[in-house]
Amino acid sequence: MNAPALLQANALGYRVGRIPLVVDADLGLSGGEVVAVLGPNGAGKSTLLKLLCGLFAPSSGMVRFDGCPLAAWLRRELAVRRAVLPQHSVVPFDFTAGEIVALGRSPHRDIRWQRPMVLRAMERCECAHLAGRVLRTLSGGEMQRVQLARVLVQIGLGEGSAPSALLLDEPVSSLDPAHQHAALVLAREMAAAGVAVFVILHDLNLAAQYASRIVLMKSGRIVAQGLPEEILTPGMISSVFDVQAHVSANPLTGGLAIFVKPRSGNAQDGANHSQPGGSGGRAQHA
């Protein structure tokens, strides 16, 4: 973290009234990396993302994008280089999926001339066949893929000359396993094209498989960050998530495979392996 990062947060704090939601967070996000944020519910992950994208003004500390404080950026110039995917959104009126994706070009003011890029993004998010459908008639997972295509179009699929950033709040929460992997493969491809990707995940195994760096949060603090192998240890997982954890090798990928079970002794036995909070162990196709 010595080289200046594209998105840099220093001593970031945010509190509502006297309740601190994010405490003293230091984080740098550089082009080419996929940073996954993990943590239990209420750990401050979404709040951190909202601070990083400027939706919330920090109570202390500062966020810089490309060296300049967020507040000093013109909104539109920032929007050209940084896209944010919210957790869920409701769209009134009968916009089609294609029209929604095209809205990603708003800050570039070239919606009319970018149909090919819109279609390309939708193909990469496997939703091109939905382009003519009305968005609110789609399933949750289909909507999520359409919104992902919209943020990709906003940063020009990472093909622009200036480095850009992508902030994703649980982008795979409604997706089936195949599309979860496809979306995160896409995040990796964006990173390979030079985009800095910040993604909130809940699935430890997905994070282990696709993140180049893991940030662990608990009670508003970043408790650890580093390579997946360094961070996702049984001790760390059990202390942050309050579960029993076991880490071994994923027979399909050779990477990490993480298994968890509730910490309290009253768990029956192996039947609880697929408990929420750690969906380890299921066969997945990468």
Contacts with another protein, residue ranges (CB under 8 A): 53, 55, 75-80, 82-84, 86, 89-96, 99-100, 103-104, 106-107, 109, 111, 129-134, 136, 150, 154
Q: Closest separation between CB of residue 125 and another protein, Å?
A: 15
Decide whether 80 or 206 has the Cβ nearer to another protein.
80
Decide whether 154 or 284 has the Cβ nearer to another protein.
154
Q: Closest separation between CB of residue 272 and another protein, Å?
A: 35
Element (DSSP H or E) covering residue 122: helix 115-124
Degrees to nearest 5, angle at CA 73 with 70 and 79: 95
Decide whether 93 or 264 has the Cβ nearer to another protein.
93
Neighbours of 1 (CB within 10 A): 11
Closest CA to 15 of 45, 53, 60: 60
Phi, psi of 209 (to 5 degrees): -80, -35
Euclidean distance between CA atoms 53 and 200, whole angstroms: 13
Decide whether 24 or 99 has the Cβ nearer to another protein.
99
Q: Closest separation between CB of residue 79 and another protein, Å?
A: 3
Q: Closest separation between CB of residue 119 and another protein, Å?
A: 10
Distances (CA, A) of 65 to 19, 252, 257: 27, 38, 35
Decide whether 134 or 236 has the Cβ nearer to another protein.
134
Q: Closest separation between CB of residue 94 and another protein, Å?
A: 6
Tell me which amino acid residue 4 is: P
Euclidean distance between CA atoms 256 and 249, whole angstroms: 5
Decide whether 55 or 223 has the Cβ nearer to another protein.
55
Decide whether 41 or 93 has the Cβ nearer to another protein.
93
Would you say the C-alpha torsion 149, 155, 157, 158 has a positive or negative sign? negative
Residue 238: which residues within 8 A CB-CB, separation 6 or more? Answer: 244, 245, 263
Q: Closest separation between CB of residue 85 and another protein, Å?
A: 9
Q: Closest separation between CB of residue 173 and another protein, Å?
A: 17
Burial class of residue 264, CB neighbours in 10 A (0-12, 13-18, 19+): exposed
Q: Closest separation between CB of residue 202 and another protein, Å?
A: 21
For residues 222 and 52, is the Cβ–Cβ distance under 8 A? Answer: no
Which residue's structure tokens are 């990472």? 158
Decide whether 146 or 245 has the Cβ nearer to another protein.
146
